[in-house]
Amino acid sequence: MSGAQASWDLPLAPASALRPARVWRQGLVAALAWALLGALTWLWPNKEIGFSDWAYTAEFAALSGVLALVLALAALTLARLGGRLQWLHPAGAWLIAAPLLLALWQVLTAKLGLLPPPFFAPPQSLLEVYLDDTARLGTSVAHSLRLLVHGIVLGSVVGFVTGVWVGWSRVAGYWVHPLLRFLGPVPASALLPLAFFFAPSSYSAAVFLIALATFFPVAVLTWSGVANVSKSYYDVARTLGASEWFLVWRVAIPAALPQVFVGLFMGLGASFSVLITAEMMGVKAGLGWYLQWAQGWAAYSNMYGALLVMAVLCSGLITLLFTVRDRLLGWQKGTVKW
């Protein structure tokens, strides 16, 4: 066989390998948007508002420029790096929208003054809060996180046990279920005076209110999940000689777990709404206390910064709960509607 004929037998490289690496176009647009935000912040003078100037304007412009540079590098190297930066690709539209919204915010506040201070402040005011008030804000986040963990864990455990009990036992369903329907719709914040009167401390009262807000959705949805388990599962297990405890732990609870996690998601959202109310009454630290302190001193930038931190904290806890759910319920994919 000749060399020319052998060359025809070699496999050809795919066409995609011969093309140059693709450029992430949304990343380039996002980089341009962040660069324009930095230029607008730096080159357009701030409007006089009664004092020297908004602090950290130059730092905010520099940070926007750094983000623009990082996004430009990511856009040019995304295809070469493979899966390392692929998580950025779905966020392309948000990375473009964010600097546009920040630019509009910047123009309406610092540049034109159409939204008057101190009720409205430009984006660099949040940077000032996070850099100059790190200690107080960090302490408040730590206290709120500890309070949330104690309240959510207590409410989730009691709600889960109550839901399994009501869903499995006819006696508990007869006596406890009407109480859940009667007391469940009552907002936990409405019981604030009673909680602070009977609780030995303001912290335990706040834990009780958060636990109560978490308890109701977890209990109701756990009860619903256990009560709606197909009876054929129990019949098969009893045929194989399963005991009552086996039916509860190995049949009813695993089948009800999707409903339990729905209740946990609902309870997590309710706990954040109660957290602010609970921390405004007698607690010495926390995000609720920080919001009340900022409002009392008309430090609205601090208040907006705390609200943003709270949103990030709630989003992080929800993401963590999603991760736990995916780990525990991975065996139910394909049989449960996600």
Q: What residue segments make up the domains of the chain, in order of their start?
A: 16-119, 134-332
pLDDT confidence of residue 204? 86
pLDDT confidence of residue 72? 92
Average pLDDT, integer, range 305-325 = 91
pLDDT confidence of residue 30? 94
Contacts 24+ apart (CB under 8 A), 41-47: 41/106, 41/110, 41/124, 44/111, 45/111, 46/110, 46/111, 46/122, 47/110, 47/111, 47/112, 47/113
Q: Which of 314, 213, 222, 309 is nearest to 263 (CA)?
A: 222
**Choice between 38 and 338, residue whose per-residue pLDDT is larger:** 38
Please state, in angstroms and rounded to a whole number, the distance separating the CA atoms of residues 270 and 267. 5
Distances from the Cα of 334 to the Cα of 214, 259, 321, 331, angstroms: 29, 16, 20, 8
Q: What's 134-332's CATH class?
A: mainly alpha
Q: What's the pLDDT band for 334 if we cut at 50, 70, 90?
A: low
Q: What are the pLDDT digits (tens) for 238-261?
A: 888 878 888 888 888 888 888 999
pLDDT confidence of residue 50? 58
**Choice between 84 and 25, residue whose per-residue pLDDT is larger:** 25
C-alpha 87, offset from chain centre: 17
pLDDT confidence of residue 328? 85
pLDDT confidence of residue 312? 92
Please state, in angstroms and rounded to a whole number, the distance separating the CA atoms of residues 251 and 241. 13
Q: What are the pLDDT digits (tens) for 173-216?
A: 888 888 888 777 777 777 777 777 777 888 888 888 899 999 99
pLDDT confidence of residue 17? 43
**Choice between 85 and 232, residue whose per-residue pLDDT is larger:** 232
Residues above pLDDT 90, as percent of the chain? 39
Average pLDDT, integer, range 290-316 = 90
> pTM of the prediction?
0.79
- Average of per-residue pLDDT values in the chain: 84
Q: What are the pLDDT digits (tens) for 94-114?
A: 999 999 999 999 999 999 989
Average pLDDT, integer, range 117-122 = 85
Tokens linked to 164: 């399994």
Average pLDDT, integer, range 139-166 = 93
Q: Which of 4-8, 79-83, 128-132, 326-330 has the lowest mean pLDDT?
A: 4-8
Q: What are the pLDDT digits (tens) for 29-74?
A: 999 999 999 999 999 998 876 555 788 999 999 999 999 999 999 8
pLDDT at residue 273 is higher than 90: no
Residues above pLDDT 70, as percent of the chain? 87
Q: Which of 2-6, 275-279, 289-293, 334-338 has the lowest mean pLDDT?
A: 2-6
pLDDT confidence of residue 298? 85
Which residue is listed with tokens 């990030």?
312
pLDDT at residue 223 is higher than 50: yes
Region class of 241: left (phi > 0), else alpha (psi between -120 and 50), else beta? left
pLDDT confidence of residue 235? 79
pLDDT confidence of residue 4? 47
